[in-house]
Amino acid sequence: MDLATRYLGLALANPLIASSSPLTGALDNLRRLEDAGAAAVVLPSIFEEQIAAETAERERLARLSEGFPEASSFFPAGSVPEAGPHEQLALIARARAALSIPVIASLNGTTEFGWIEYARLVEQAGAQAIEINVYFPPVEPTLDGTAVERRHLAVLEALKRTVSVPVAMKLTPAFSAPGAVIRALDAAGADGFVLFNRLYQPDINLAALRPSRQAILSSRSEIGPGLLWIGALAGRLRGSLAAGTGVETAEEVIKYLLVGADTVMSTAALLRHGPAYLQALLEGLERWGQARGFASIESLRGCMSQAAVGRAMRMERGDYIQILQGFTPILPGAQGGE
């Protein structure tokens, strides 16, 4: 089976990408991912706030040492680089030298200045594409949806002006009309979309009476929004589509491809099982495709998408009603009630 696909204009050997996670932060892991068959890797995000905080801290320390008659500063001049994504940039360069698969950098920022500065740096360091993670939960109730959308657009436009490598946007589904937003971003020049980023899920630790901060890996039950919106958008965009939540087994990979994803990204499964698990996903995909007689990824991609099956959007509501009406709740104490 021909697994080749394209993403962000890059030719990939297969549709499986190791997405941004702590796993992709070490060169050894990146090598192992490539060996396991990853078609591309997305490196850990560069967080603008972290760099800003570090910059502020260094400025504060520099100011602090000025007050001493006996010390001009506590570190030799030039020995402390300006705060910045030094380790990440070094990793990009080393990954490019060590790997033959594309290396995608990930940026997670809040301001246009941060995006631009770091996008330029990662491009210079050799990243072949940039994934921007516009993680911006609009929890401030006075912020309206239009403003949020405008912000996404502004970030994209600033980035596209700055770099020449392709730019993918990693989005959450928290828009009133995700499809329209994505189309607008597509029209503004986004080279691809990663659907979806999950919003922060708050929890509370009752024993300590404080917010719980456990990172919960995604599970296969969460693939629904991705299936829906990739299905709705496949074939209707200039840019590529990557699916990115809830990949536990090859089944989720196949489902995403069937609704029209160009590539599928995995974080949770690789964190759970290690880089070698990527090979298992790939083999599962290939086995299924061959069993079903698909000669290539191209031939199976999108065959279940909205566009491919020609369903009208209104039919979706029909499905929804049908599902709800067909649902029989199990209530406490209901056993043996009849």
Which residues bind to another protein, rule: CB under 8 A? 56-81, 84, 86-87, 90, 112-113, 116-117, 120, 158, 162, 208-211
* CB closer to another protein out of 210 and 314: 210
Smallest distance from another protein to CB 44, Å = 15
Smallest distance from another protein to CB 46, Å = 13
Smallest distance from another protein to CB 81, Å = 5
Q: What angle do CA 224, 236, 304 make, to 5 degrees?
A: 45
77 to 53, 59, 81: CA distances (angstroms): 21, 14, 9
The DSSP annotation for 189-240 comes to T--EEEE-PPPP--EEETTTTEEE-------GGG-HHHHHHHHHHTTS-SSE
* CB closer to another protein out of 213 and 317: 213
* CB closer to another protein out of 31 and 220: 31
* CB closer to another protein out of 16 and 125: 125
Q: Mapping DSSP to helix (H, G, I), strand (E, B) and coil, where does residue 2 land?
A: strand
- Longest Cα separation, the chain: 87
Strands 103-108 and 210-212 turn out to be unpaired
On the 0-12 / 13-18 / 19+ scale of CB atoms within 10 A, 47 is buried
Smallest distance from another protein to CB 1, Å = 40
Smallest distance from another protein to CB 157, Å = 12
* CB closer to another protein out of 68 and 200: 68
